[in-house]
Structure 1
């Protein structure tokens, strides 16, 4: 009997392994500087000093500080997206509505636990403006992929049971045109009227989260969890799904 040969496993070379280890160290030090000393502390020279290297030596790994920052932002998005998706895969998240609840709470949990990283991701207005991706971008570490996780669950609710939608005839023409264009950009994943509900939910969730993380309501609230739960309950009502109690 002819035996099948085992699939060949690519083993990284010593040089590749060393480079990967150095990149991980760069990212670890950069993140530590960001968390403990703020964004301005994350410089090529500061990282090089902690690694016992010269600044120019670090440019072999990143051609500029901007390239380093983009690599770190991609890592943070990847981590956030994985955290949200993992919450949606828990045994209790067995319906689109329950997954939505779990994902929204996971997003808040990660943001509050990593406020410095969240600030780096979303304090940039350009990043915030791209917070919902087109479907083909869904698996890339980007602002769009982060928003896509929420979009997927709203679409799953829509295709499973529908939810109340507005009458587009009663809306301003410019708004309707934009909703039609957005629906087209997401390949019809949601029709324009359902897309309106999605955007209403997303604006509320994302806006509430940013105001909490950046402490923009600290003049009134020191604990915004009840307000967040109220916001989540309102989103669930718009989508006609139960608001599950937090575990």
Structure 2
């Protein structure tokens, strides 16, 4: 079934071609990161070009950008589909995350306001866990790690993290059969904020790296189990 998307208003005056392509890619990437487009969903050129107010040629160029980011896959004679990440995709995601996130908490510009923002996300995650809402825990997890990278103050790293979060959301779909996956990382996020408030940046960075190692191992084990049972 084709995915349907409301892209919002097109850029004023249709904007420059390159800018429009980047905007389309950003809209689709953000929808995927928000969980609105699931792995395997077909992206219809006709409906998307109409909804976004752009030509099919421009849309195809945006698809090319997302394909290079491993967020969508082109299948000859069938179309463009939201990707379903595999084990090697997970390894690459965590290579990137282990490089960026511990560095962000170690050397980032950490202010009381930024810590308050991180704590607000943690409270959302705790409430979602108490309510048994896996989807809301996943949303909060995405938001928390976005806040971590925001500590760097780097727009380049924020853009890179948007790509990573879109891929992570697709990986999380594979964990729908393991509803407790997110729950045991909530307390780790609580501890991370506590470490940063105490000025224990080195401990926070080391524990975050261990956290990412554990999450990667759990995801790979689950994917291997799914592959063995299919």
Could you state the TM-score of these two structures normalised by the residue count of structure 2? 0.34
Larger RCO, structures 1/2 (Cα 8 Å, 6+ apart): 2
Structure possessing the higher radius of gyration over alpha carbons: 1
| Greater share of residues in strand | 2
Could you state the TM-score of these two structures normalised by the residue count of structure 1? 0.32
